[in-house]
Amino acid sequence: MDLKQIQYFIALFEDGSVTRAAKRLNIVQPALSMQIAKLEDELHQQLFERGAHGMAPTAAGRLMYRLFLPIMRDLAHARQQLVQREEVVTGHVGIGLIASVTESVLADSLSRFHARYPDVEVTVADGYSATFIDWVSGGQLDAAIINKPRARLSLDSRALLDEEMVLATSAAHGPDLPHAIELAQLPELELVLPTKRHGLRGVLDNAAQHEDVLLAPRFEIDVLSTILKLVEHTRFATILPRIVVERAARHGTLRTCPILAPRIVRHIICVSHPRRPLSTAAEALITVIGDELHQASNTSASEPQP
């Protein structure tokens, strides 16, 4: 038994498919199958049941996974400590970001991250929270920053930011806004909102259902920058996180109004796979993005609104 065989075993255990595990390991499928067979011969134990729907671990396979996963994590952490000791962090980070984070803090986050970790490559995916949950679960991403869903997660999660959502209208063409508005009054406005596939719409609908309020938007658009442009030039209104509308409000093209009774708050979290510890580079990138989110949120909350 060697480390390579253990790595192959763990990949197959977590992915449940020779095809997916081989792709993850960047090897051909016969090589993976051969190493697993050698491992089973050496241990005199069958580790997987081969079925039509993939590879299901046996009791011996589940025991081996519980025994060896901590060892492999310790080796990974030991390697990270050596890299940190040399003060050189390298590698690749694949991360998913919801659009509100991408449009508000991604550029500043990557600029700051690259200045500190110039040898790390980063791939950023833009999409929906539900898609990112699947991609992190399947190992296609190291981590994702998403809106916290109502459903219970099987992934590890950490809170990054709790943020108020506000009503926004055009400063030039929009209706007059009160100092604050109640959620029950929102159906009186012509609204432009994200579609029901979007995590932000889930936050809005959940709050509205709790108060027995029906939100019936005139337009549903998932591209947040398009929503902002439409609202800036019409009498339509929208409901978005404060950091999304902060720049336009600061430039005087949008007016914002807090929503009361109740406030609508979205929770931004970072999710990662419980069986795949994050690298030093990934942890560092998540920390930078979290810091930028807090700075943007604090700035927008303190800005006087027109």
The pLDDT tens digits for 186-207 are 999 999 999 998 889 999 999 9
What are the structural domain ranges in the chain? 3-85, 91-160+267-302, 163-265
Return the axis-axis angle of helices 18-25 and 3-15, rounded to nearest 10°.
Answer: 130
Q: Positive or negative, the Cα torsion across 216, 219, 221, 227?
A: negative
Q: Architecture of 3-85 per CATH?
A: Orthogonal Bundle (1.10)
At 76 the pLDDT is: 73
Report pLDDT digits (tens) over 18-39.
Answer: 998 899 889 999 999 999 999 9
Residue 84 has pLDDT above 80, yes or no: no
Mean pLDDT of the chain, nearest integer:
89
**Angle at CA 116, nearest 5°, toward 112 and 121?**
85
SS3 category, 146 = strand
The CA-CA-CA angle for residues 187, 193, 196, to 5°, reads 105
CATH code for residues 91-160+267-302: 3.40.190.10
Nearest Cα to Cα of residue 140 among 85, 81, 96, 103: 96
Return the half-sphere exposure (C-beta side, CA atoms, 13 A cut-off) of residue 293.
Answer: 26
- Per-residue confidence (pLDDT) for residue 262, from 0 to 100: 86
Using the predicted structure, report yes or no on whether residue 297 has a pLDDT greater than 60. Answer: yes
- For the cut 90, the answer to whether the pLDDT of residue 169 exceeds it is yes
Neighbours of 128 (CB within 10 A): 20
Closest CA to 245 of 296, 290, 201: 296
Average pLDDT over residues 242-255: 92
Look at residue 294 and tell me whether its pLDDT is greater than 80.
Answer: yes
Per CATH, the number for 163-265 is 3.40.190.290
Same fold, 91-160+267-302 and 163-265: yes
For the record, the structure tokens of 129 come out as 């929270």
